[in-house]
Amino acid sequence: MKEHLRWLKDRGELLVIDREVNPNFEASSILKREDGRCAVLFKNVKGADLPLAGNLITKREYLLKAVGASRDSEAYSKLLYAMSNPTRPEVVEPTEYKVVADLSGLPLLRFYEKDGGPYITSAIFVARDPDLAVQNASIHRVMVVGSRRAVVRIVPRHLYRILKKSEARGEELPVAVVIGSKPAVYVAAASSPPYGVDELHVANTLLGGTLKVFEEPRTGLLVPTDFQVMIVGRLNPWEKEREGPFTDITGTYDIVREQPVLKIDAVYVRPEALFYAILPAGMEHKILMGFPREAAIWDSVRRVTPEVKAVRLTPGGCGWLHAVISIRKQREGEPKNVILAALAAHPSLKLVVVVDDDINVDDPVDIEWAIATRFQPDKDLVVISGVRGSSLDPSADQVSYLTSKWGLDATRPIDRPLEHFTKARIPWP
């Protein structure tokens, strides 16, 4: 993480704030103001012993740098390859760190007005399946309710499955919570390889075999050596507390739920450590969460159309619910296959817009222009009702998650003259 910050500083894209900053809303207001513009380093957070960094991956070029790629398709290919070809990191001696008493010295932020408490938003949970002895690494939000106690939002995916296995055994689940590793580790932890594939092995492949891990002594878990802060504790399957409200990727408050309690046994801090915060609903949140889904969409769509130029989970669609896909269309009907392939690859999608390869998927005006000039609702609209969508969509049924989905074929008709759909240009200079 510090290497990434140095790279940002060399580019002139790191704002350093020396004055004291309040962790309740002031720090998040600055992160919001600079979102998409630059990273921020707070050297003096009121009541905290550590500096705080945020906005580290708010631009696509930052993410490409993190995975060693020069363009989207290369980054998608690298992530898909890494998920299919995970490699074990080298196990080394423990990195230098000190053990502090609890969470009280950490710069824990309250981000938005109605947040249920201070949150840790950059937490990579490492846990081991008690039956298969395989590890999992995934990102979860953590609401801090005491100096040695927190509540963790765990959606029904891999960590949830491991926790249920521990519950069936009548055991608490030991976890190591990594904060501030390499950006590529965060990309891997946000991905969804098959159950049983260790995301740290995915990260190691992404990093060309350079990731190093050590055995955390209390849990026996293998964790990255380059952490900044690490929380070691136990998830209790039976003890739950109310978690939330929390502002999720949509920029709206998620509902309050009963979630498992994390009992904290130790907090490790590296020398001269930085704490790391991800602004909820900010570009960093959207890019980290959305990029692996873009890769899945790209992989699925390229199987039904010869050439995919670009895939984008749009900022206006919360980096999660809306996709724009640019293709080089070969025949009529192809864009509808693209819509269906995208919806299957990312079940949380609510809208898919398919455009020609002359449309910029990062330009909302260009996308709207394509819809205005190349889309006819009576033949180019696809609507699917009664399907499961995203729990993050406040307009969906929040119990069953049933929703409707739609797709727009905003591509040029092949049987019409191309010049009728070509933007006029001024050939100057």
Catalytic residues: 248
- The label of the residue with tokens 């500083």 reads 9
Rg of the chain over Cα atoms, rounded to whole angstroms, equals 22
Rounded distance between C-alpha atoms, residue 249 and residue 156, angstroms? 18
